[in-house]
Amino acid sequence: MSKNEYIFVVVAHSDDQIFGPGGTLIKYASEGKKIKTIIFSYGVLANPHYKKDVIRKIRYDESTEADKFIGGDGTIFFDMNEGKFEKEFYKKKYDQELKNLILKYKPQKIFTHATDDNLPDHKIVSKLVLETYDKLSKEQKFKTNIYTFGVWRFFKLKQRNSPRLVVDISETFDKKIEALKIFKSQLNSMISLKWSVYIKAFSAGFKHNMSLAEEFYKLR
Ligand SMILES: [Zn+2]
């Protein structure tokens, strides 16, 4: 595998990349792959009592620190408001920016949210990534692989037949948990979601004969 192999992860909020494919990203980075994280929103609405600029800086600092910790190759923020991704993505020309980034780095894989995620913002990111990629691949004949990660649940019928990518994260799971702790401003979601990180890793591992795993569905 080439040393300059790029991997993109495109998410709604500043900690989703660790919650979702964190163990996989840590593993890929340790193999020399370059991980670029694209985050749609600073999540300013989640903490309405703080000034927006304060939140932006906190999110930026935490994501950058987590990115360094996992051995990533940088984090790019798109400054969209939660709940308005679909409108702002095109209005603020982030579709073009995403296309440019894909053409510049030619990622081998793009990870993003599941199309049936429970959170509307997650679902829309997934939709916009697929829309952008489909147009791009038609216009430029560029092809890559798009994988999705989702909230924990037993599988849905629709996904049962899509090809899967299973990554053994037995060696990187502890580091994923450490990376999650960097997001101190997200302590609430951390507490409510942390159990799902364990259950997902155990159940995916169990299914595929590994001790801990992350599982993805290939949509393109
Ligand atoms: Zn999120």
- Angle subtended at Cα 202 by Cα 10 and Cα 110, rounded to the nearest 5 degrees: 15
Ligand 1 centroid – CA 13 distance (Å): 4
| CA-based nearest residue to 83, from 47, 54, 118, 41 | 41
* Distance (Å, whole) CA 112 – CA 208: 22
Ligand 1 centroid – CA 52 distance (Å): 18
Which residues are placed with Cβ below 5 angstroms of ligand 1, an ion? 12-13, 16
Q: Which fold has domain 6-218?
A: Rossmann fold (3.40.50)
pLDDT digits (tens, 9 = 90+) for 76-99: 999 999 999 999 999 999 999 999
Ligand 1 centroid – CA 194 distance (Å): 13
- Angle subtended at Cα 47 by Cα 43 and Cα 50, rounded to the nearest 5 degrees: 110
* Distance (Å, whole) CA 88 – CA 164: 31
Ligand 1 centroid – CA 122 distance (Å): 6
The residue whose two tokens read 């994501």 is 63
Q: Cβ neighbours of residue 136 under 8 Å, at least 6 residues apart?
A: 99, 102, 103, 142
Ligand 1 centroid – CA 3 distance (Å): 30
Task: Assign 182 to helix, strand or coil.
Answer: coil
Ligand 1 centroid – CA 120 distance (Å): 10
Domain boundaries along the sequence of the chain: 6-218
Ligand 1 centroid – CA 133 distance (Å): 21
pLDDT given for residue 84 in this prediction: 96
pLDDT given for residue 76 in this prediction: 98
Ligand 1 centroid – CA 113 distance (Å): 9
Beta bridge partners of 11: 39
Ligand 1 centroid – CA 197 distance (Å): 14
Ligand 1 centroid – CA 140 distance (Å): 30
Ligand 1 centroid – CA 125 distance (Å): 10
pLDDT given for residue 44 in this prediction: 83
pLDDT digits (tens, 9 = 90+) for 134-157: 999 999 889 999 999 975 555 554
Ligand 1 centroid – CA 210 distance (Å): 27
* CA distances for 179 relative to 12, 184, 188, angstroms: 18, 10, 16
In the chain the first and final C-alpha atoms are separated, in Å, by 21
Ligand 1 centroid – CA 208 distance (Å): 26
Q: Which helix (H) or strand (E) holds 23?
A: helix 22-30
The pTM assigned to this predicted structure is 0.93
pLDDT given for residue 125 in this prediction: 98
Ligand 1 centroid – CA 102 distance (Å): 22
Ligand 1 centroid – CA 60 distance (Å): 15
Q: In what order do the strands lie in the sheet with 213-218?
A: 75-77, 34-39, 6-11, 109-113, 145-149, 213-218, 164-168
Residues lower than pLDDT 70 in the chain? 1-3, 151-162
pLDDT given for residue 157 in this prediction: 46
Q: % helix / strand / coil in the chain, to the nearest 5?
A: 50, 15, 35
